[in-house]
Amino acid sequence: MQSTFRVSTETGFLDPALRQLSPNRDARPAGTDPAMVVLHGISLPPGKFGGPEIASLFANTLDFDAHPYYQKIRGLKVSAHLLIRRDGVVTQFVPFTERAWHAGDSCFRGLTHCNDFSIGIELEGEDETAYDDRQYPVLAAVLTAIFEAYPAISARELAGHCDIAPRRKFDPGPAFDWLRLYDELGARS
């Protein structure tokens, strides 16, 4: 089965995807191409879905006084390459050719600074709430497009934020169904 998405390795953009570029990005180290994908889970405020807050956080326009939780993240400068909302809508914040600020202090198979060589995908969700059924086929289609564009990446180079920063992060959490994702990917091959 063909992917419904395509990645331009020249521009680093995923089509079709909404685009809302984040200022929280910079150049990858010279000669570094994407070599893994990190899956995250995010909701702002925690447990609330569907609002503009995630995009506002990535754009540095979040009103930190709008919710008590935001005091914990005040001034945070973060981004991801993609956000997949619960309804399956995909927004790209950073081209894959650039480094998004999503992984922080991290290590994958002995390599540190995972932002340098990874693609970060945020799923709108949280650790203990089941991810939406619409997210899995979209994520699988996006990953298939990434695998086609960057042959160094396959399902073996997928990790959760919890895997690359295990004492610091827990997402995408136990609510994320890895086996379902692998089944979706298998159906596309």
Beta strands 90-92 and 18-19, pairing class? parallel
| CA distances, 55 to each of 82, 84, 130, 136, 163 (Å) | 10, 11, 21, 21, 24
* CATH architecture for residues 6-188: 3-Layer(aba) Sandwich (3.40)
Whole-prediction pTM? 0.96
**pLDDT confidence of residue 187:** 85
Among 53, 122, 124, 184, the active-site one is 122
With a pLDDT cut of 70, the percent of the chain lying above it is 98
Give the largest Cα separation in the chain, rounded: 47
Could you give the CA distance from residue 111 to residue 71 in angstroms, rounded to a whole number?
A: 32
pLDDT at site 136? 98
The confidence band for 3, taking pLDDT boundaries of 50, 70 and 90, is low
pLDDT of residue 1: 38
Boundaries of every domain in the chain: 6-188
Tell me the two tokens of residue 99: 């480094």
pLDDT in tens, 18-75: 999 999 999 999 999 999 999 999 999 999 999 999 999 999 999 999 999 999 999 9
**How far is 88 from 122, CA to CA, in rounded Å?**
12
pLDDT in tens, 103-150: 999 999 999 999 999 999 999 999 989 999 999 999 999 999 999 999
Known catalytic residue: 122?
yes
